[in-house]
Amino acid sequence: MTDASIGRIWMIGCGTMGGAMLRRWIDSGVVDARTVDVVNRSDRALPDGVRQARDLPDGALPDLVILAMKPQQLDEIAARFAGRIAGVPILLSILAGVEEDALANRFSADAIVRAMPNLPVAIGKGVVALDGAGTDVAARASVEQLMQPLGLVEWVAPAQFDAVTALAGSGPAFLYRFIDSLARAGVAQGLPADQAQRLALAMVEGAGLLAAAADVDPATLADRVASPGGSTRKGLDVLDADGALDNVLRDTIAAATRRNAEMAAAAR
């Protein structure tokens, strides 16, 4: 590669997350569907032009191989394909809980990068955490350029990757649960279920956009919404009492972080 662009791509596995990334890359024009080969156990609905098979294609190595199967398939995939992809310029893994050393022990590549995307990458509003401690500047630039259309891209220290995975990677699921709970709380106060869900979704979308554009932190925004003695302040008093919301979210992120560490240990 003479610049930061990535040409040919092989994807090993292309499920929900891999498919979301691939569609966004193609829709944004950073990847040509005709340059992508996908290995799947069974055919999935993929963008037109993407080749799909049960095995890797013959011929020269691509610029990038992406590991996007289930983490539990790591050893199976290494046994099948490690020899075939040996020497690839960049190996990119989106396998939760699989550390760089575990990948290096199974695959030979000029550069190995871990990525942890979240599902909003499908609309270009995701978060992609990257870890490539031993990766050179050129490879880092290539990966970062590829990831830009997916949303916010952050390089993360290896020791922090499990926590970032829990916060940003698992975070959408936690937020979806919160939205659902918020809507059900509205139903408990007499709102029709479908209306409560519409209101909760629109509120979260608008509040999130405003928070992203604001010049103050979210805690300050919350206090601005809450007039002294008003209804919002009464609701915040419940969330703030004895650190109720902080405690439950701290426990939530800690549980997900611990599980990432457990998976990393198993993959070693």
Contact 144, 20 (CB under 8 A): no
Phi then psi dihedrals of residue 125, to 5 deg: -120, 25
- CATH code for the structural domain at 9-161: 3.40.50.720
Contact 61, 82 (CB under 8 A): no
Average pLDDT over residues 190-219: 97
Amino acid, single-letter form, for residue 72: Q
Cα 181 to Cα 177, 201, 205, 242: the distances in Å are 6, 11, 16, 21
Average pLDDT over residues 155-180: 94
Is the pLDDT assigned to residue 134 strictly greater than 80?
Answer: no
**Topology alike, domains 9-161 and 171-263:** no
pLDDT at 111: 95
% of the chain beyond a pLDDT of 70: 99
Q: Measure the CA–CA gap between 162 and 68, rounded to whole angstroms.
A: 18
pLDDT at 70: 92
What are the tens digits of pLDDT across the range 75-97?
999 999 999 999 999 999 999 88
pLDDT at 3: 54
Which residue did the predictor score with more confidence, 119 or 267?
119
Q: Measure the CA–CA gap between 15 and 133, rounded to whole angstroms.
A: 27
pLDDT at 87: 97
Average pLDDT over residues 156-161: 91
pTM recorded for the entire structure: 0.87
Contact 46, 38 (CB under 8 A): yes
Using CB atoms within 10 Å of the CB of residue 253, give its burial: 0 to 12 exposed, 13 to 18 middle, 19+ buried: middle
% of the chain beyond a pLDDT of 90: 90
pLDDT at 2: 38
Is the pLDDT assigned to residue 147 strictly greater than 50?
Answer: yes
Q: Which runs of consecutive H residues, i.e. helices, occur in the chain?
A: 16-28, 74-85, 100-104, 137-147, 161-164, 171-188, 193-213, 218-225, 231-240, 244-267
Amino acid, single-letter form, for residue 130: L
pLDDT at 135: 86
Smallest Cα–Cα separation from 117: which of 107, 131, 135, 103?
131
DSSP state of 69: S
Average pLDDT over residues 203-231: 95
Average pLDDT over residues 49-66: 96
Confidence of residue 4 (pLDDT cuts 50, 70, 90): low
Please, what CATH class does the domain formed by 171-263 belong to? mainly alpha
Contact 115, 147 (CB under 8 A): yes
Domain boundaries in the chain?
Answer: 9-161, 171-263
